[in-house]
Amino acid sequence: MFRYFSSSSMIAATLQLICTVAVLVNADDYTVTEGNKSFLAAVGCFWCGEQAFEQYAPGVVEVVSGYAGGTNSNPTYRNHPGHYEVILIEYDPEKTSYEVLVNYGYRNIDPFDGNGQFCDKGSSYYPAIFYSTEEEQIIAETVLAQILELYPDWSKDDIQAPILERPKFWRAEKYHQDYYIKNPSNYGYYKNACGRNQRLKEVWGEEEYKCYHDEDYACFADTNTTIIDDETGKEVKVEGVATVVNDSGEVVQAESNIKNAPKEIAGLLPRWALVLASILGAVVGIGIVIFFAVKCRSGDDFV
């Protein structure tokens, strides 16, 4: 039995197939858990971006380092022409919002440096805030406007971190993921030597820096706040609890997904340099011992 397809139905089916293929082609190289959302930002070194959002931003489920916006597919650390180093922040929309995370994005960049971030320069380190929808674009622009009101000495022309339409995201290599957890010594040395914390405090001020880099969200705590109870779904009043507004406009308790990260070590040298110095020290020490042993056996005077 043959089925008859009209020309209009054939065209509709073809367009649907094209749209499906387009979605697959443009899909991120990372799948967000059903019910969660994601926010893309370029904040300089993606190692530092991971730590900042995973440890200090409320409602964050996972942060993934990667590349976006460049000219090639499947970019790598050695080959990502035109790509930003970015972080994809997967978040629970019931515990935070795009607006909250955009605020965190700005507080983790130097908005006046369009040539890179901190000690890192070049297109890989350009700062940017990305949006996926017109609504997100409006939210991002509103956040920037609020920041400019908070800092009246700044003008919109001073801000070198553009708000851009979100490009496709590509995951970075495995060794880049959770780098601050796997290599605390190297990471601590890099972050300290790069002057990231120092510059953020200079730009935003000590209090604002502390507000957005505090695991207890002390500056978001209110003396008398109404929140939605998770078990009953009813509003309850609480005191001294840090809160944020989620994607639905509800006031909820601020919670973070703090990973079991070792304390970063802001030493004078990275781990590889310390190992090399230890090896060289041992070689020199052995050399000295051999030298004196030979001298003693030959009976030479040490004069």
Helix (DSSP H) and strand (DSSP E) numbers for the chain: 9, 13
pTM: 0.78
Return the DSSP state at 299. Answer: T
pLDDT tens digit sequence for 3-16: 443 455 544 444 45
How crowded is residue 298: how many other Cβ atoms within 10 Å of its Cβ? 7
The alpha helices in 57-121, defined as continuous H runs, are 98-106
154 vs 107, 110, 199, 225, CA distance in Å?
Answer: 15, 13, 16, 32
Q: Is it the case that residue 270 has pLDDT exceeding 90? A: no
The alpha helices in the chain, defined as continuous H runs, are 7-26, 46-56, 98-106, 134-150, 179-182, 184-194, 196-204, 206-211, 271-298
Q: What is the mean pLDDT of residues 67-85?
A: 97
Q: Is it the case that residue 136 has pLDDT exceeding 60? A: yes
Q: Is it the case that residue 258 has pLDDT exceeding 60? A: yes
pLDDT value of residue 303: 45
For residues 253 and 68, the answer to whether their CB atoms sit within 8 Å is no
Look over the chain and give the mean of its residue pLDDT values, rounded to a whole number: 85
Active site residue ranges = 45
**Rg of the chain over CA atoms, in angstroms?**
26
Q: Which domains does the chain have, with CATH numbers?
A: 28-215+257-269 (3.30.1060.10)
CA–CA gap between residue 275 and residue 248 (Å, rounded): 51
Sign of the CA dihedral 228, 233, 236, 239?
negative
pLDDT tens digit sequence for 187-222: 999 999 999 999 999 999 999 999 999 999 988 987
Q: Which residues contact 152 (CB under 8 A, 6 or more apart)?
A: none
